[in-house]
Amino acid sequence: MSQWMKGLITGAILAAGVTLVATGPWSRAGATSFARMPDGKPNLNGIWAASNTANWNVETHAARQGPVTALGAAFSVPGGLGVVEGGELPYKPEARATRDANGKNWMANDPEVKCYLPGVPRATYMPYPFQIVQSTEPNDILITYEFASASRILHMSNPQEAPVDSWMGWSNGHWDGDTLVVDVTSFVDQTWFDRAGNYHSGALHVVERYRPAGPDVIQYEATIDDPNVFTRTWKMSMPLYRRTEKNARLMEYKCVEFAEELMYGHLNKGAKP
């Protein structure tokens, strides 16, 4: 057995020990069977991930061939039932045309391709895990995503107005019973919802709800309001699953360097014009 394996097993035993010790004040309680923090709030700490195809398209979509011939079946698009309640996004007619144009040129225009901060709610359902770091009130909560080290501070007991717009928006959180509600505003207009070109303007306002639905499941909802792009408010929802491996950790995915050849390669010495 390698040192690495021994370490893993020791880690797992230790982690199991911690779990046993931890059944004191933040033991599972109530109908939701969800762990709780010492202040009685649901304990959302952990590493979480969606398990759906919303990052390809938040709307229902059939499987299709991917854009890179050389990658064949390895990077083609899986079908998916979509995460938008009611099915279709309520675009204004001219906004729908913009979405369609975005979708046609997604590789050139999708901010994900350039490793730009993905915005909210997209960061939640990208195919990378994220970690919630929750203390007790009045402390802020951190949500940190593996993709691009994107991170958000949820201002919990000191709601503040955003000093200026940002890629991940400005998050003020509060508890509505056992549900963590996050009001997210002050976005730049550069992020998208998915690789299909679904997009928003700088007027985007997102209200997220994280509702514990079991020991290892959060039911996630994001209500989207953007009167510049949509005719009405709409909602997406999906379960988020805990990464239950005992050694689950976020790895680094500092993807800037993976996008540099694409973004700057033409400016290198000797590059073909």
Partner 1 sequence: MLASIAGIGGVLLLAWVASGADKYTAPRTAWGDPDLQGQWNSQTSTPLERPIAGALAGKDSISDEEAESLEVKHLNDGDKPPTEGDPGTYNSFWFDRGKGLNRTSLIIDPPDGRVPAYTPEAEQRLAAERAERAKRGPADSYADLPAWTRCITRGWNGIGSNYSSNTQIFQSPGYVVIYQELIHEPRIIPIDSSATLPADVKQWLGASRGRWEGDTLVVETRNFDPRSSYRGSSPDLVLTERYTRTAADTIDYRFTMHDPSVYVKDWTVGRPMRREAGKLTVFEYACHEGNVAMTGILAGARREEKEKK
Helix %, strand %, coil % of the chain (to 5): 20, 30, 50
| Contact string (CB under 8 A) for partner 1, positions 158-197, x = contact | --x--xx-xxx---------------------x-------
Q: How far is the CB of 48 from partner 1 (least distance, A)?
A: 13
Q: Rule CB under 8 A: which of 41-70 touch partner 1? A: 45
Residue type at 147 in one-letter notation: F
Span of 59-67, 79-87, 194-202, 244-252 interacting with partner 1 by CB under 8 A: 244-252
**What is the sign of the dihedral through the CA atoms of 103, 236, 190 and 114?**
negative
For residue 221, give the nearest of 80, 40, 54 by alpha carbon.
Answer: 54
**Residue 248 CA to chain centroid, in angstroms?**
17
Closest CB to partner 1 among 4 and 74?
4
**Token pair of 207, please?**
């209200």
Q: Rule CB under 8 A: which of 103-142 touch partner 1? A: 114-117, 131, 133-136, 139-142
Tell me how far apart the alpha carbons of residues 91 and 223 are, in angstroms, rounded to a whole number.
15
Three-state DSSP state, 139: coil
Cis check for the bond before 121: say yes or no (omega within 30 of 0).
yes
User: Phi and psi dihedrals of 31, rounded to 5?
Assistant: -65, -30
Q: Which one of 27, 65, 228, 268 is in contact with partner 1 (CB under 8 A)? A: 268
Q: How far is the CB of 271 from partner 1 (least distance, A)?
A: 8
Span of 58-66, 173-181, 206-214, 249-257 interacting with partner 1 by CB under 8 A: 249-257
Q: Using CB under 8 A, list all residues that contact partner 1.
A: 3-4, 6-8, 10-12, 14-15, 18, 22, 25-26, 37-39, 45, 114-117, 131, 133-136, 139-142, 144, 148-151, 153, 160, 163-164, 166-168, 190, 247, 249-252, 254, 256-257, 260-261, 263-265, 267-269
